[in-house]
Amino acid sequence: MDTAVGRPPCNLREHREQQKHIREHRDLQEALRQTTSDLEETVDLAGLLYETNQRIGTVIDYLLKGRGTVPTGESESFEIVLDRDLNQLEGTEGDRTGGTKSPTPAGDVTMTENPVSTGD
C-alpha cells in the first residue's frame, strides 16, 4: 500500500495516463483563459467601435445640415451611407452574376453633395 496517499501503487501505464489527463486539463484551462481574454477584448473593441460610430454619425449629420442636405432635426446620414453601401453591394453582386448595376435612386453621396467631384 502507498503510505503517502493510502492506496496501492499504480502501475506505470495508469500513471502516464493520469499525467496525460493532467496536461490536457492544464492546456484546456489555458485555452479557456485565452479565449475569455480574447472575448473581453472583442467586447471592449465593439464598445469602442459603437462609440466611434455614434461620433462619426454626429459629425456627418452636422456636415449635412451645414449643406442643407438634411432637414433640421432629422438624422439621415445613416440612411444615406447605408443606401450607398447597399447600391455598391448590389453592383458587386451584379458583376459576379453578369448582371448590370441598377440605377441608384438616391445617387452617389459624393455626387449628391459635390456635383463637381469626379468620383475618384
Over residues 65-114, the pLDDT tens digits come to 777 765 555 556 667 777 788 888 888 766 655 554 444 444 444 444 44
Q: Do 66 and 80 belong together in one domain?
A: no
Res 1: pLDDT = 46
Q: Do 97 and 59 belong together in one domain?
A: no
Give per-residue pLDDT as tens, 7-42.
555 689 999 999 999 999 999 999 999 999 999 999
pTM metric for this prediction: 0.43
Q: Do 66 and 82 belong together in one domain?
A: no
d(CA 17, CA 43): 39
Q: Which domain, by its residues, includes 37?
A: 8-70
Q: Do 66 and 86 belong together in one domain?
A: no
Q: Do 47 and 98 belong together in one domain?
A: no
DSSP result, the chain: -BTTTTBPPPPHHHHHHHHHHHHHHHHHHHHHHHHHHHHHHHHHHHHHHHHHHHHHHHHHHHHHHHTT-S-TT---HHHHHHHHHHHHHHHHHHHHHT--PPPPSS--HHHHH-TT----
